[in-house]
Amino acid sequence: MEHMKQDISRLQYEFKECQKLFTALGDETRQYLLCVLLNCDCQGSRVIELAEKTHLSRPAISHHMQILKDAGIVKSRKDGTCIYYYLDPDKQKIGQMEHLFSEIKRIAGQAPDRSGTDRL
């Protein structure tokens, strides 16, 4: 039982470490923008180009791009006065998320069967 409490405590910590990534990926608009970026030139896209490909305003796209940058999914580069956004997920952050899901699967596999099928 003590081992399970330690596992749960570690999971809570790992969830917190992945919170920005989950928040960024949990929004449908940002999911859509990531798909748009996947279809863009590998040099990246400017906000105005993303606005032309979506129904979003430039300020809205800038806001979403900042959240994706903060989460470590998107990066940007400046060329003169232009800012280009491109998909470049932080491998460490993606690895943390993969590890979290692996731990959830492992811990759930150790939990007692609660389906109720053994009562029939």
CA angle 64, 65, 66 (to 5 degrees): 90
The whole-number pLDDT of residue 13 equals 92
pLDDT digits (tens, 9 = 90+) for 8-34: 899 999 999 999 999 999 999 999 999
Full DSSP string of 57-117: -HHHHHHHHHHHHHTTSEEEEEETTEEEEEE---HHHHHHHHHHHHHHHHHHHHSPP-SSG
The whole-number pLDDT of residue 78 equals 94
Model pTM? 0.79
For the chain, the domains span 10-103
Q: DSSP label at 55?
A: S
More confident of the two residues 57 and 119 = 57
pLDDT digits (tens, 9 = 90+) for 34-72: 999 998 877 899 999 999 999 899 999 999 999 999 999
Buried b (16+ CB within 10 A) or exposed e, 2-35: eeeeeeeeeeeebeeebebbeebeeeeebeebbe
The whole-number pLDDT of residue 36 equals 93
CB 11 within 8 A of CB 100: yes
Q: DSSP label at 111?
A: S
Distance of alpha carbon 15 from alpha carbon 36, whole angstroms: 28
The whole-number pLDDT of residue 3 equals 79
The whole-number pLDDT of residue 24 equals 95
Hey, what CATH class is 10-103 in? mainly alpha
Is the predicted pLDDT of residue 120 greater than 60, yes or no? no
